Amino acid sequence: MMLKEKAGSFSLVLERPFTPFPIQHLLLSNDLDILFNRGRVPIATWKKEVLAVQTSDANCGNSGFATFSSKFSTSLGWKLLNNQNGDVKSPMQRNILTPQISQVVCIFTEEDPGEGEWAHGSFPIDEYVKALERSRGELYYDHSRGMSYSKITEQIYVGSCLQTEADVEALSNNVGITAVLNFQSATEAENWGISSKLINESCQKYDILMINYPIREGDSYDTRKKLPFCVGLLLRLLKKNHRVFVTCTTGFDRAPASVIAYLHWMTDTSLHAAYNFITSLHSCKPDRPAIAWATWDLIAMVEHGRHDGPPTHAVTFVWNGQEGEDVNLVGDFTGNWKEPVKASHKGGPRYEVEMKLPQGKYYYKYITNGQWRHSTASPAERDDRGNVNNVIVIGDTASVRPSVQPQKKDANIVKVIERPLTENERFMLAKAARCVAFSVCPIRLTPK
């Protein structure tokens, strides 16, 4: 943002920064360096001839922020502005990692205010720098900028939701998309003002196969349970030589997660490598733990109830009793109930035991001051002899017909372990993933 030399109480040229810029790096720069960095400094000055980062009594510059809105903030305004600057991009270049608009937003002066409104204020630069550090890596979805997408392979594209018939036309004519795999729910589309009916009709018009399979936004458990069927659908579409556009509302989470899972499960690529590959091509932040959870769920399909390999999950067993108790944990995982593990006191009535276990079903109990007891805060079952034991089921079994049941209340905390798979686990994963894919009808694209 720089000042335009015109008369009046205020006169600004507003420019959109590429990304939040670490302005602390400019504190040692001179005014000439700053001028050459025009458009990349997300701070503002006014009533001065030169952009000043440092505030001082000598120049009386006001470093701070400016908020601005104008007719150019609409999508039509952006298009008009780009046309004026000769910076119109081909739809084939609409990668989310590249700037989609000209950096100049609008020239706004007191003499020619147009339809704009603006306000400003001051704040300490060090606080601004700390805020930038906290927001590093965060993604922000701007629906008004329209659909954006990235090319992953010749057959796979990932991006944000279809908003208009023009988006469908662009995908068909410029990219050659023949199928859309959409994870956006009807409620989400309605909330964003998108007509699902119009989008579906547009896809039919341009001979694009539209498949809607809603996954709840921000729901890690729902993503985990539905990923296997998503990957099965994607594989079926690719086998039929479709060029597929995988999408959700923002293009940040569910869509890239399904493509990462596809690469991990179907191409024998490690989760780490698949994640880095997708995030290097498409700006996104998919739910990585959900993919790891779903991976172990898939392997469980062909394990027959017992995992043969290193631990898959980290479990925190929690006992809430009384302060000063001597608490030990014993169960199937402690030498067949013969080797109690002492719990750590975490303050107040809370005691914890940290363990890493392979997925499966385990029975356990607590020994408090020499007495064998079960926790009422965790699930329990009665055995054939009438003894009540706590029970924990670590992991689950994947299915193309996922039943998302309410999870049982449990004081224990289970987290997934992401690690390189053993040779046997890779074989089991490949086998299970193809079982899921073959469970999808190639004609109706529904579970068999």
Q: Which residue has the tokens 């999408």?
A: 247
Residue 446 has pLDDT above 70, yes or no: yes
What mean pLDDT do residues 330-354 have? 95
**Same domain for 335 and 282?**
no
What mean pLDDT do residues 207-223 have? 96
In a domain, 246, yes or no: yes
Say how far apart CA 307 and CA 357 lie, in whole Å: 10
Dump pLDDT digits (tens) for 10-67: 444 444 444 444 444 544 444 444 443 343 333 343 333 333 334 333 433 344 444 4
In a domain, 427, yes or no: no
Say how far apart CA 69 and CA 180 lie, in whole Å: 35
What is the reported pLDDT for 55? Answer: 38
Query: The CATH number of the domain where 349 resides is what?
Result: 2.60.40.10
Residue 170 has pLDDT above 60, yes or no: yes
**Same domain for 73 and 186?**
no
The count of domains in the chain is 3
Q: Where are the beta strands (DSSP E) in 47-165?
A: 64-69, 104-109, 117-122, 149-151, 156-159
Q: Which residue has the tokens 């007495």?
A: 371
**Same domain for 228 and 116?**
no
What mean pLDDT do residues 376-384 have? 94
In a domain, 168, yes or no: yes
The closest of 148, 178, 185, 181 to 163, measured between CA atoms, is: 148
**Same domain for 89 and 159?**
no
Say how far apart CA 309 and CA 307 lie, in whole Å: 6
315 vs 65, residue with greater confidence: 315
**Same domain for 245 and 344?**
no
Helix (H, G, I), strand (E, B) or coil at 424: helix
Domain boundary among 111, 134, 157: 134
- Go through 279-296 and write b for each residue having 16 or more CB atoms within 10 A of its CB, e for each that does not: eebbbbebbbebbbbbbb
**Same domain for 180 and 267?**
yes
Give the whole-number percent of the chain exceeding pLDDT 90: 59
**Same domain for 154 and 93?**
no
**Same domain for 153 and 224?**
yes
**Same domain for 239 and 347?**
no
Query: The CATH number of the domain where 188 resides is what?
Result: 3.90.190.10
Is 248 annotated in the active site? yes
Residue 70 has pLDDT above 60, yes or no: no
In a domain, 122, yes or no: yes
Residue 308 has pLDDT above 80, yes or no: yes
In a domain, 205, yes or no: yes
What is the reported pLDDT for 32? Answer: 40
**Same domain for 120 and 222?**
no
What mean pLDDT do residues 359-375 have? 96
In a domain, 129, yes or no: yes
Residue 375 has pLDDT above 60, yes or no: yes
The closest of 347, 340, 344 to 373, measured between CA atoms, is: 340
Say how far apart CA 5 and CA 48 lie, in whole Å: 9
**Same domain for 358 and 259?**
no
Q: Which residues constitute the domain of residue 323?
A: 313-394
Q: Where are the beta strands (DSSP E) in 134-195?
A: 149-151, 156-159, 179-182
**pLDDT tier, 109 (very low <50, low <70, confident <90, very high otherwise):** low
Taking the model in full, what pTM does it have? 0.75
In a domain, 424, yes or no: no
Q: Where are the beta strands (DSSP E) in 226-336?
A: 244-247, 313-320, 327-331
**Same domain for 216 and 317?**
no
CB of 152 within 8 A of CB of 278?
yes
In a domain, 299, yes or no: no
**pLDDT tier, 133 (very low <50, low <70, confident <90, very high otherwise):** confident
Domain boundary among 348, 374, 394: 394
Annotated catalytic residue, options 248, 284, 435, 441 = 248
